[in-house]
Amino acid sequence: MAIRLRTAHTADLAPAELRAARTLLEDAFDGDFRDEDWDHGLGGLHVLVHDEQGLAAHGSVIQRRVLHAGRSLRVGYVEAVGVRADARRTGLGGRVMAGLERIIEDAYPLGALSASEDGAALYAARGWRLWPGRVCALAPDGVVRLPDEEGTTFVRPGTALRPLDPAHDLVFDWRDGDVL
């Protein structure tokens, strides 16, 4: 099976490629992939894996801001990771993550993501660490705690970064839809 990996910015993807990625993600999430979810994965770098049948896997990394221990960190945030149903458990998710991790490690002080139950094992096996502290967001009315995101938020060191301290919250920037 010939596999082709491509990394491209959203601006460099043709409309047909973007439609194919969105369709793959809608299928991968069993229809639970909304407009806001799609929007969250745009504006950064995409890793796309193609096989003989077309687009088989996708993921993107976008820039976000996180406040932590008095610092504002640029974060490479992983979004929209999905694998076509017939191509799951073949290593394509790992190939997507390897591409995204390279971007994070070379361009961001920190990587972060919010894992589904199905995805958590993949991320943990790849060295992502479950964040043991509080997770919050800087909402329009101030900082709000996101207790549902505690236990699903993973982090990964990128470029030179002092260790994160779980005694201090991770406070993510606000956005419509699911904040994380």
Would you list the domain boundaries of the chain? 4-173
The domain made up of 4-173 has a fold known as Aminopeptidase (3.40.630)
Amino acid at 80: A
Q: Determine the average pLDDT of the residues in 63-74.
A: 96
Q: Determine the average pLDDT of the residues in 122-146.
A: 96
Distance (Å, whole) CA 111 – CA 20: 26
What pLDDT sits at residue 2?
87
What pLDDT sits at residue 109?
93
What pLDDT sits at residue 25?
97
Chain mean position to CA 71: 22
Distance (Å, whole) CA 126 – CA 167: 25
What pLDDT sits at residue 163?
85
* 156-to-4, 19, 23, 85, 160 alpha-carbon distances in Å: 26, 30, 29, 27, 12
Largest CA distance in the chain: 52
Percent of the chain with pLDDT over 90: 90
Instruction: Check if the beta carbon of residue 105 is closer than 8 Å to that of residue 159.
Output: yes
What pLDDT sits at residue 158?
80
Residue 160 predicted with pLDDT over 70? no
Q: Determine the average pLDDT of the residues in 52-76.
A: 96
Q: Determine the average pLDDT of the residues in 107-117.
A: 94
Distance (Å, whole) CA 112 – CA 32: 21
Residue 13 predicted with pLDDT over 80? yes
What pLDDT sits at residue 161?
72
Per-residue pLDDT band for 1 (boundaries 50, 70, 90) equals low
DSSP 13: S
